[in-house]
């Protein structure tokens, strides 16, 4: 079996892979559901939820929970000839990088923060002014005081971008972006054409690579942490009062959307029930 791997944009425009898989232009693609929002408005929670399940909880939801059942329901309702066969999880992002100490939610009031997507509205409940700053402009924006802090990625990813030179604090927590799930999606016809033994081989290797990838990047972040500390940045846990406030506002945000969209309600209820069940039994998983 030969699988030719191509970077995004090599065959079809980057981030349009879902449509290409549906049409059979691609047999398989690997990207995040948050990128499908143009065709599937309810897709983002399949990637991550503010205050939602942790990376491993998401991973288990896909392996053993309703993840792929609900995703297939979404594909079928949209008439897409697509199915998921495996998932992998990214490490949690840094909660916030700031120029100021954050001891409680009150310290965020009036601050200008680079925030994207749902979190911009959620943090807005804490009187945060969300600013949409492209990644290449973050460094200068912090230097000039255009923003007081920002969300971006993780310590290992952000070190080469020089962000340790422009912030005083890096607050860590999985609450703001617990993960970024990536899904292997296939064209149904292409998948059906494979013999069962190769289907098993491909899907199991994809699942295994997902957890190996998570192990690699969580480890890279543990080693990057000391680099940030050595550079003079205070790497600190996010105060529990801030986490609790964000979780409360995120629950309200998703509940309001779910009240008007039946599928979104079913999806978010499944994710939150999974999170709560695991948190009750394994509080630190």
Question: Has residue 260 got a pLDDT over 90?
Answer: yes
Q: What percent of the chain has pLDDT over 70?
A: 100
Q: What are phi and psi of 73, to 5 degrees?
A: -60, -40
Q: In what order do the strands lie in the sheet with 28-31?
A: 28-31, 181-187, 82-89
**Confidence at 159, pLDDT banded by 50, 70, 90:** very high
Q: Encoding tokens for residue 46?
A: 């399949």
Question: Has residue 29 got a pLDDT over 90?
Answer: yes
> What pLDDT, in 10s, does the model give residues 47-90?
999 999 999 999 999 999 999 999 999 999 999 999 999 999 99
CATH classification (class only), 17-91+179-225: alpha beta
Output 236 or 116, whichever has higher pLDDT. Answer: 236
Q: What is the mean pLDDT of residues 156-173?
A: 97
The domain made up of 96-176+231-250 has a fold known as: D-Maltodextrin-Binding Protein; domain 2 (3.40.190)
Residue with tokens 């079928």: 76
Q: How far is CA 51 from CA 12, 21, 113, 177, in A?
A: 34, 31, 18, 7
**What is the CB neighbour count within 10 angstroms for residue 59?**
22
Name the DSSP class of 38. T
Question: Has residue 116 got a pLDDT over 90?
Answer: no
Fold equal for 17-91+179-225 and 96-176+231-250: yes
Return all residues near 52 (Cβ < 8 A) that are at least 6 apart.
Answer: 45, 58, 178, 250, 271, 272, 275
Q: What percent of the chain has pLDDT over 90?
A: 95
How does the average pLDDT of the chain come out, rounded?
Answer: 95
Tell me how long the chain is. 285
Question: Has residue 117 got a pLDDT over 90?
Answer: no
User: Given this model, what pLDDT does residue 3 score?
Assistant: 86
* CA gap 205, 213 in Å, rounded: 12
The domain spans of the chain are 17-91+179-225, 96-176+231-250
C-beta separation of 91 from 214 below 8 A = yes
Q: Indicate if the alpha-carbon torsion angle 27, 31, 32, 37 is positive or negative.
A: negative
Question: Has residue 285 got a pLDDT over 90?
Answer: no
Q: What is the mean pLDDT of residues 29-56?
A: 94
**What is the CB neighbour count within 10 angstroms for residue 250?**
23
C-beta separation of 53 from 183 below 8 A = no
């Amino acid at each position: 079996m030969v699988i030719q791997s191509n970077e995004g944009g090599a065959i079809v425009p980057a981030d349009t892979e879902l449509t290409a898989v549906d049409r059979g232009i691609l047999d398989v693609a690997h990207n995040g559901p948050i990128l499908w929002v143009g065709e599937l408005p309810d897709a983002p929670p399949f990637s991550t939820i503010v205050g939602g399940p942790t990376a491993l909880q998401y991973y288990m939801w896909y392996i053993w929970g309703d993840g792929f059942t609900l995703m297939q329901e979404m594909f079928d309702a949209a008439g897409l000839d697509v199915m998921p066969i495996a998932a992998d999880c990214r490490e949690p992002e840094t909660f916030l990088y700031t120029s100021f100490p954050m001891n409680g939610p009150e310290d965020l009031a009036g601050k200008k923060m680079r925030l994207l997507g749902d979190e911009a509205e959620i943090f807005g409940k804490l009187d945060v002014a969300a600013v949409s700053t492209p990644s290449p402009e973050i460094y200068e924006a912090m230097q000039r005081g255009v923003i007081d802090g920002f969300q971006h990625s993780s310590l290992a990813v952000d070190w080469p971008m020089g962000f340790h030179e422009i912030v005083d604090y890096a607050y860590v927590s999985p609450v703001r972006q617990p993960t970024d799930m990536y899904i292997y999606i296939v064209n149904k016809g292409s998948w059906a054409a494979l013999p069962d033994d190769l289907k098993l081989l491909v899907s199991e290797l994809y699942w295994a690579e997902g957890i190996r990838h998570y192990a690699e990047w969580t480890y890279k972040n543990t080693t990057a942490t000391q680099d940030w500390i050595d550079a003079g940045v205070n790497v600190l846990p996010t105060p529990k009062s801030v986490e609790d406030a964000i979780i409360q506002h995120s629950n309200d945000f998703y509940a309001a959307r779910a009240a008007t969209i039946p599928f979104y309600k079913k999806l978010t209820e499944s994710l939150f029930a999974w999170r709560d069940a695991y948190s009750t039994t394994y509080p630190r998983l």
